[in-house]
Structure 1
Amino acid sequence: MRRFFVGALLQQVRILSPIFSGILVIMVGTGFVVGYIENWRMDEALYFTFVTGLTIGYGDLVPKHVLARMLALLIGLSGIVLTGLVAAVAVQALNAADRDLAKQRERSSGS
């Protein structure tokens, strides 16, 4: 089952990699803009991006400017979309692995 799942997961990731990449580029780009507005270092901006995008929100870095706060909302929404996409890909891969395993069992029992 694991082999079928990994194969199906890699296939799904390969198909959806442009979408994953696009969302990550939007998140990181927006995070750097927020960092620029807030005069944060690059590593702080990247950290803020992923803490916000993963909806963890420690609160140690908080945007003060209105535009930066609006962009933080975009980062958070993008993170939610990315998380949902990852979950959907995993479920789809699990379903595909289950179908493939059932087909293999059917072929081996029919022989």
Structure 2
Amino acid sequence: MNFAHAKHIRREFYKTVWFYLHVVWPILSLIIISIVLIGLIISYLEAWSPFDGIYFAFVTGLTIGYGDFAPKLAITRVLAILLGFNGILMTAIFASISIRAIEIAVRAAERDKH
């Protein structure tokens, strides 16, 4: 595979990712907004700063879990579980977009070969 061909495949991949991100943007934006709002609620209930709550929400939602913040109240623990589900959903959306973009880029490469 030559450099120009690989560049064409990458361009097709990024073009497809961009297209599908526009398609699912309403869903992604709702997930991101809900993560931020749940983080703010947790920060209020746990008496953390708003930034710490949002940080905790994204670290939990993206399943990183550094452990520097841990909710103490039962309600905030339930909200942390909801954050985990939101994060899994967000990750799944990005993964499915990437897989679809790879499929389209590979088909375009095969079509250009023949």
Shared fold (TM-score, shorter chain, > 0.5): yes
Deviation at 1:37, TM superposition (A): 0.5
- Tell me the TM-score normalised to structure 1 length: 0.90
- Kept in 2, the 8 Å contact 1:4–1:101? The answer is no
* Structure-1 residue corresponding to 2:28: 20
Indicate the structure whose relative CO is greater, using CA pairs within 8 Å and at least 6 residues apart.
1
- Kept in 1, the 8 Å contact 2:13–2:104? The answer is yes
- For 1:95, the aligned partner's letter is E
Distance 1:96 1:25 in 2: 30
- For 2:16, the aligned partner's letter is A
- For 1:72, the aligned partner's letter is A
Count of residue pairs the alignment pairs up:
106
* Structure-2 residue corresponding to 1:6: 14
Q: Which residue among 68, 72, 78 is the counterpart of 1:64?
A: 72
Q: Deviations over 1:34-83 (max 9, x none)?
A: 11110110110111011101111111111111111100100011101111
Query: Does the alignment pair 1:88 with 2:96?
Result: yes
Provide runs of 4+ in structure 1 moved above 3 Å. none
Name stretches of at least 5 consecutive residues in structure 2 with no aligned partner.
1-8
- Kept in 2, the 8 Å contact 1:51–1:58? The answer is yes
- Tell me the TM-score normalised to structure 2 length: 0.88
Name stretches of at least 5 consecutive residues in structure 1 with no aligned partner.
107-111
Deviation at 1:84, TM superposition (A): 1.2
Deviation at 1:93, TM superposition (A): 0.7
- Percent sequence identity over aligned pairs: 37
CA-based RMSD of the aligned residues comes to 1.0
